[in-house]
Amino acid sequence: MKKTGYMLKASMVFALAALVGCGGGKKDATEEESTQTGDEIVLSDAEMEKASSIYFNTCAGCHGTLRLGATGPHLLPEAPEGATAPGTRQLGTAGITAFIMNGTPGGMPDWGKQGVLNDEEINLLARFLQNDPPPIPPFTIDDMRARWKVLIPVEDRPTKPQHDKNWQNFFGVILRDAGQVAIIDGDTKEKISIVKTGFAVHILRSSASGRYFYSIGRDGKVTLIDTWMETPGMVAEGKASFDARSVEVSKYKGPLGDFRDKYLIVGGYTPSHYVVMDALTLEPLKVVNTSGKMLGDGEFLEEARVAAIVSSHKDPLWIVNVKETGMVWLVDYSDLDKIEENTTQIPTAQFLHDGGWDVTGQYFLVAANASNKMVVIDVTNKKLETIIETGIKPHPGRGANVNNSQYGNLWVTGHLGENKITFICTTPGENQWKVVKELELPGSGGGNLFVKTHPKSKYLWADRPLNNDEALAKSVFVIDKESLEVIKTFEAPEKYKGRAVHMEYNKAGDEVWVCIWGVMDKPEENAILVYDDKSLTLKEEITGDWVVTPTGKFNVYNTMNDIY
Any idea what the CATH number is for the domain that residue 120 is in? 1.10.760.10
Rounded CA gap, 67 and 52, in Å? 12
Residue-level pLDDT at 10: 30
Q: Nearest to residue 132, comparing CAs of 43, 265, 236, 237?
A: 43
Give catalytic residues, as residue numbers. Answer: 59, 62-63, 108, 353, 395
441 found inside a domain: no
18 found inside a domain: yes
> What SS3 class is residue 325?
coil
- Residue-wise over 443-473: b if at least 16 C-beta within 10 A, else e? eebbbbbbbbbbeebebbbbbbbbbbeeebb
pTM of the model: 0.84
31 found inside a domain: yes
103 found inside a domain: yes
Q: CA-CA-CA-CA torsion for 481, 482, 488, 492, nearest 10 degrees?
A: 0
CA angle 229, 143, 222 (to 5 degrees): 30
Residue-level pLDDT at 40: 67
559 found inside a domain: no
Question: What's the domain count of the chain?
Answer: 1
461 found inside a domain: no
List, in sequence order, every residue forming a beta bridge with 267; answer none if it has no partner. Answer: 246, 274
Rounded CA gap, 448 and 417, in Å? 8
Range of the domain at 85: 3-128
Per-residue pLDDT of the chain (564 residues; tens, 9 = 90+): 222 222 222 333 333 333 333 333 333 333 344 444 445 688 888 888 788 778 877 887 788 777 878 778 888 888 888 888 888 988 899 989 988 988 877 678 788 887 788 999 899 888 988 988 877 778 999 999 999 999 999 999 999 999 999 999 999 999 999 999 999 999 999 999 999 998 889 999 999 999 999 999 989 999 999 999 999 999 999 999 999 999 999 999 999 999 999 999 999 998 999 999 999 999 999 999 999 999 999 999 999 999 999 999 999 999 999 999 999 999 999 999 999 999 999 999 999 999 999 999 999 999 999 899 999 999 999 999 999 999 999 999 999 999 999 999 999 999 999 999 999 999 999 999 999 999 999 999 999 999 999 999 999 999 999 998 999 999 999 999 999 999 999 999 999 999 999 999 999 999 999 999 999 999 999 999 999 999 999 999 999 999 999 999 999 999 999 999
DSSP codes joined into one string, 182-223: EEEETTT--EEEEEE--TTEEEEEE-TTSSEEEEEETTSEEE
